[in-house]
């Protein structure tokens, strides 16, 4: 092989490797972009749901659980910082959907009272769940959807 042909081949393969790297890089950044985009969509959806949930809370829940979510000792359990709400996502949805009565323990305090079903639709329950799970210092990453609420049976 002549010297300059050899050099040309080396140069050729270098260009080839470089172009592969460029394609791989741009695909990688595309994936990241889609990820960021879907997080942003979920973020706005969650914010809108929380805003609707705030209104539902004011109309249907506030008289017992109070504006600050702290409830009334021994009578109405707190939602703010409630270990029940944080750890029992499904039971919380079920209690809002179908009502709840009998003895429960919230943050180490016993309650034995009754909350009747409030007749809310699945979407409204999802919204109010997103509100109470993201207020008064409560935080949850996975948003509640009407589909999740629909799956919760009595
Ligand atoms: C009439 C008063 C009343 C209303 C209105 C009411 N609750 Fe309750 N809630 C209670 C009582 C009482 C309990 C505890 C029941 C028991 O002792 O078994 C409870 C329990 C809960 C619990 C589980 C325990 C906890 O503190 O984490 C959640 C979650 C909850 N309520 C959310 C709501 C939401 C959301 C609404 C509005 C859609 C609502 N409640 C409306 C009285 C009420």
Q: What does the pLDDT read at residue 13?
A: 74
Distance in angstroms (rounded) separating the CA atoms of residues 73 and 28: 54
Domains in the chain and their CATH numbers? 40-151 (1.10.760.10)
Query: pLDDT tens-digit profile of 38-73?
Result: 777 778 999 999 999 999 999 999 999 999 999 999
Q: What does the pLDDT read at residue 34?
A: 72
Residue 58 CB: number of other CB atoms within 10 A?
Answer: 12
pLDDT band, very low/low/confident/very high, at 24 (cuts 50, 70, 90): low
Distance in angstroms (rounded) separating the CA atoms of residues 138 and 131: 9
Q: Which ligand 1 atom is nearest residue 82's CA?
A: 27
Provide the whole-model pTM.
0.82
Dihedral class, residue 81 (left if φ above 0, else alpha if ψ from -120 to 50, else beta) = left
Q: 59: CA distance to ligand 1 center in Å? A: 13
Does the beta carbon of 128 sit less than 6 angstroms from any atom of ligand 1? yes
Residues 6+ apart with CB under 8 A from 143: 42, 45, 46, 49, 126, 130
Percent of the chain at pLDDT exceeding 70 = 88
Does the beta carbon of 76 sit less than 6 angstroms from any atom of ligand 1? yes
């Amino acid at each position: 092989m002549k010297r300059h042909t050899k050099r040309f081949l080396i140069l050729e393969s270098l260009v080839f490797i470089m172009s592969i790297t460029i394609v791989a890089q741009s695909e990688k950044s595309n994936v990241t972009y889609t990820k960021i985009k879907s997080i942003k969509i979920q973020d706005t959806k969650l914010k809108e749901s929380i805003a609707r949930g705030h209104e539902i809370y004011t109309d249907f829940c506030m008289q017992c659980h109070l504006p600050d979510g702290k409830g009334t000792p021994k009578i109405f359990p707190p939602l703010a910082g409630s270990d029940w709400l944080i750890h029992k996502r499904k039971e919380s949805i079920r209690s809002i959907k179908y009502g709840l009565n009998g003895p429960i323990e919230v943050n180490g305090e016993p309650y034995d009272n009754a909350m009747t079903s409030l007749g809310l639709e699945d979407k409204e329950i999802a919204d109010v769940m997103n509100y109470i799970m993201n207020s008064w210092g409560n935080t949850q990453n996975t948003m509640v959807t009407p589909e999740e609420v629909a799956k919760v049976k009595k």
